[in-house]
């Protein structure tokens, strides 16, 4: 467990467990944004005349097709423990209704391919990814991530050439994890793609969070990078190491300017996975 995660766990146990009998996210159902465009996560999807599974089918949608959200309905459908709203959407010139669980919550391009991400909801607490190319599914996977929101997705494409032998691709997917420390905290899950274009989940890290007065922030340092010194927070220079990702964590007290502690973890690349080494 990294220094930051240990601090976060300690704060949860000490400050949260005795107080909260119900989590603030227990009844959360994430929503798509009206006016935004989403890609379909499933294949052979029915675009229906009304928000009902028995309604007339207007057309079929393939995985990766684009739809624009026109309106969110009040109708909720639960399938395989996934709860989502029905949405009125536009697909090219056709307007109809689609269940939200059939749409990706986030997507981004990688070379000539697309990576789709879906939040499976609070009950399941899992993240599902798919890699597609021209409406064809190439790879998929599902991982436990805990109670997550769909409010602040982001991603980073890392340079695989920094490592030897190099993975085909390396990226970080950021999302918000619900927590009683404030509202939640951002988590980034690092993934690689192997030579068969299969997702490999490597490790996760947390850029930062606060439960005042205790706070923490972290940085990743890749092999060809260097994190400069910062006298204001007593941070020394951290230089990258070959085939290694360094996670540097700074814990501090916002009421005490002299309180600064640093923890360092190293993730060493063996050609397939990153092996964690605490320091």
List the end-to-end C-alpha distance of the chain, in Å, as a whole number: 11
Report the range of poorest mean pLDDT among 4-13, 180-189, 262-271. 4-13
- The per-residue pLDDT for 6 is 45
SS (H, E, C) 41-81: CCCCEEEECCCCCCCCEEEEECCCCEEEEEEEEEEEEEECC
| pLDDT, tens digit (0-9, with 9 covering 90-100), for 100-135 | 999 999 999 999 999 999 999 998 999 999 999 999
User: From the centroid of its chain, how far is CA 22?
Assistant: 24
| pLDDT, tens digit (0-9, with 9 covering 90-100), for 167-213 | 999 999 999 999 876 678 899 999 999 999 999 999 999 998 888 89
- Of 19, 41, 18, nearest to 105 by C-alpha is 41
Report the range of poorest mean pLDDT among 4-13, 30-39, 105-114, 167-176. 4-13
State what percent of residues in the chain have pLDDT above 90. Answer: 81
Mean pLDDT of the chain, nearest integer:
91
Please give the average per-residue pLDDT across 12-22, as a whole number. 42
**Do 63 and 137 meet the contact criterion of CB atoms below 8 Å apart?**
yes
8-state DSSP, 231:
G
**Do 279 and 267 meet the contact criterion of CB atoms below 8 Å apart?**
no
Residue that wins the pLDDT comparison between 39 and 178: 39
């Amino acid at each position: 467990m990294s220094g930051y995660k240990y601090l976060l766990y300690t704060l949860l146990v000490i400050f949260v467990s005795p107080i909260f009998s119900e989590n603030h996210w227990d009844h959360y159902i994430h929503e798509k944004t009206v006016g935004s465009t989403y890609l379909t996560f499933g294949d052979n999807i029915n675009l229906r005349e009304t928000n009902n599974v028995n309604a007339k089918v207007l057309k079929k949608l393939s995985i990766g097709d684009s739809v624009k959200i026109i309106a969110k309905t009040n109708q909720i459908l639960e399938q395989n423990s996934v709860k989502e709203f029905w949405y009125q959407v536009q697909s090219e010139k056709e307007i109809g209704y689609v269940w939200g669980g059939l749409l990706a919550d986030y997507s981004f391009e990688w070379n000539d391919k697309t990576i789709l991400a879906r939040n499976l909801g609070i009950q399941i607490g899992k993240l599902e990814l798919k890699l597609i190319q021209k409406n064809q599914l190439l790879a998929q996977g599902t991982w436990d991530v805990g109670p997550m929101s769909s409010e602040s997705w982001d991603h980073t494409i890392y340079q695989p050439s920094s490592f030897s032998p190099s993975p085909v691709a390396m990226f970080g997917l950021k999302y918000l994890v619900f927590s009683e420390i404030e509202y939640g905290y951002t988590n980034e899950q690092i993934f690689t793609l192997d030579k068969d274009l299969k997702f490999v989940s490597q490790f996760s890290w947390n850029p930062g969070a606060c439960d005042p007065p205790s706070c923490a922030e972290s940085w990743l340092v890749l092999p060809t990078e260097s994190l400069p010194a910062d006298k204001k927070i007593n941070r020394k220079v951290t230089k990258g190491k070959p085939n290694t990702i360094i996670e540097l964590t700074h814990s501090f007290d916002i009421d005490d300017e002299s309180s600064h502690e640093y923890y360092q973890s190293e993730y060493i690349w063996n050609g397939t996975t990153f092996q964690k080494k605490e320091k």
